[in-house]
Amino acid sequence: MTASSEPPPPVVTRFAPSPNGPMHLGHAWSAIFAHDIARAAGGRFLLRIEDIDGARSRPDLIDDYRRNLEWLGLEWDEVPAQSTRLASYAAAADELASRGLLYRCTCTRKEIEDAGAREGEEGLIYPGTCKHGPADPALPAALRLDADKALREVGELIWNDAAAGPAAADLSGFGDVVLVRKDAPASYHLAVTLDDAADGVTIVTRGADLFTASHIHRVLQALLGLPVPLWHHHDLLLDPEGRKLAKRRGSPALSDRRESGEDGLALAAQLRLHKTKAGT
């Protein structure tokens, strides 16, 4: 490196929970992972509440997430919740639509199933029905990305995971993903990509269950001229049977553990040391 080269940007990571259910141990590990990467680099650790799923998001839980992070000994800067950023999602969708990259889709789940769609990375891969025959303007519609057209525009793209190494962005497991939902102002993919850029996130950390979603995010970054972060996907905590921890399988809510007087710092230390055993 020469004296004139730019210093690398300061590291910024974030924990971005969707408060659709109580915070559990898997969230704790995700938050600690992001926090520790930022702290080790002298960078910033952000909290962003991802609350645009009107049907599932529970505002009453948001403060619990904060209290649990405090209890685990983490410090963060909180950035605005997704529900305050709807205008930026709409602007990006308008921009993509004006370039002919989105199309309206009125299909129901049943119609997609009946069209013989095959299973992809996140459910059925959309068979393209509405791309070929214009959707009824009177019906509620989602907006889908025309993946073929998008890929022609951006060409070959590489994204980098700190653990897994470089990968070529590949949408074949997704097809034409929804960017604007029928029932929400943006899909997870559009919102998270815009927000990570707006918040200056330099290392996107999250569970390995969302690894392949980064293919989509990389394409959206290229389409929208956004900076490209590094990614670092982490292993998921497993229960004693080797299944992903989730509240619905009986993983105790962290707030119950906090309120019962358990030592949050000790739990955080245990997760750092031996995370796969901590769920027991």
Site residues (vs Zn ion, CB under 5 A): 105, 107, 129-130
- By CB under 6 A, is residue 16 in contact with ligand GLU? yes
Record the tokens describing residue 25, joined without a space. 């141990």
| Binding at 107: pick from ligand GLU, Zn ion, none (beta carbon under 5-8 Å per type) | Zn ion
- Give me the least distance between CB of 110 and Zn ion, in Å please: 12
Give the pairing type, strands 102-105 and 77-78.
unpaired
Q: Name the DSSP letter for residue 138.
A: T
Give the pairing type, strands 178-180 and 165-168.
unpaired
Which one of residues 11, 12, 17, 37 is an interface residue with ligand GLU (CB under 6 A)?
17
Q: Which is nearer to ligand GLU, 117 or 179 (CB)?
A: 179
- By CB under 6 A, is residue 206 in contact with ligand GLU? yes
Q: Which helix (H) or strand (E) holds 25?
A: helix 25-40
Q: Going by C-beta distance under 8 Å and a sequence separation of 6 or more, which residues neighbour residue 168? A: 156, 157, 158
Terminal CA-to-CA distance of the chain, rounded, Å?
Answer: 47
| Binding at 131: pick from Zn ion, ligand GLU, none (beta carbon under 5-8 Å per type) | none
Record the tokens describing residue 51, joined without a space. 């609350």
Q: Are 50 and 16 in contact (CB under 8 A)?
A: yes
Taking phi first (over 0 means left), then psi (-120 to 50 degrees means alpha), and beta for anything else, what does residue 12 get?
A: beta
- By CB under 6 A, is residue 177 in contact with ligand GLU? no
Q: Which residue number is nearest to ligand GLU in terms of Cβ?
A: 206
- By CB under 6 A, is residue 18 in contact with ligand GLU? yes
Residues carrying an active site annotation: 247
Which one of residues 22, 37, 50, 187 is an interface residue with ligand GLU (CB under 6 A)?
50
Site residues, ligand GLU (CB under 6 A) = 16-18, 50, 192, 206, 210
